[in-house]
Amino acid sequence: MTGPSEALHAGPPGAPPPLLAVAHGSREPEAALASEALVEAARRRLPGVDVTLAYIDFGSPSFAEARRRQPHAVVVPLLLSRGTHTARDLPPEAVRPLGPDPRLTTALLGRIEQAGIARGTALLLAASGTLDPGGLGDVADQARLLEQAWDAPVGAAFVTAAEPTVRAARAAALAEHGAVAVVGYFLAPGRLPRASRAVTAPLGDHAEVAELVAERYRAGVSVLAGTG
């Protein structure tokens, strides 16, 4: 009979469960490089853990292939909100997406500072769109967290599939506040971040994002062990 500790992993006895990090994937090499850098940063925070990066689309190994090889891995989505992929492509036992989270607020503030955006400027948090109301709520919640830390208005807008669009929200914010800066809510570069016309860099392998990936993994291990 297999006990709870044996069910945690398929590796040597006593080894921690593997971490299977799952990125969306992109046809653009820069996106894969950004995902690899984030996973490497997370790996450094998890000594002794076998960490694998897989992709839902446009990358190798695919999530399905990696999952077959590591069926007992803790699945950590490298996604910032819920959406079609979390509902359709990932197993129910996958840990929750990275956002919303206070660590992402810190990472966003770091990118805002790097971009030289002046304090008091109204912000627009530009994200990929989704048809999932929960995912839209996740982005709105992250915008609220950022607003609390920024002490100026922060709205949420979307590049595709949802409203308000970045263009419409930017026009409205300009009319209301006189100035607005578009902050990208993306992990990696690519077509959608470019379409957002954000003035900030993707979150990428920011230290707070890497630590958040490690936190999600530890939470997943606790759930598997029955202590979470």
Domains in the chain: ranges and CATH: 4-99+206-225 (3.40.50.1400), 102-196 (no CATH)
- The confidence score (pLDDT) of residue 12 equals 65
- The confidence score (pLDDT) of residue 8 equals 41
* Residue type at position 77: P
Q: How far apart are CA 119 and CA 212, in angstroms?
A: 26
Q: In the chain, which residues have pLDDT < 70? A: 1-13, 227-228
Q: How far apart are CA 167 and CA 157, in angstroms?
A: 8
65-96 in b/e form (b: 16+ CB < 10 A) is: ebbeebeebbbbbbbbbbbebbeebbeeebbb
16: phi > 0 → left, psi -120 to 50 → alpha, else beta; which? beta
- The confidence score (pLDDT) of residue 130 equals 93
- The confidence score (pLDDT) of residue 58 equals 87
188 token code pair? 């990696």
Alpha carbon 69 to chain centroid, angstroms: 24
| pTM score over 0.85 | yes
- The confidence score (pLDDT) of residue 180 equals 98
Q: How far apart are CA 37 and CA 164, in angstroms?
A: 32
Asked whether the beta carbons of 10 and 41 are under 8 A apart, the reply is no
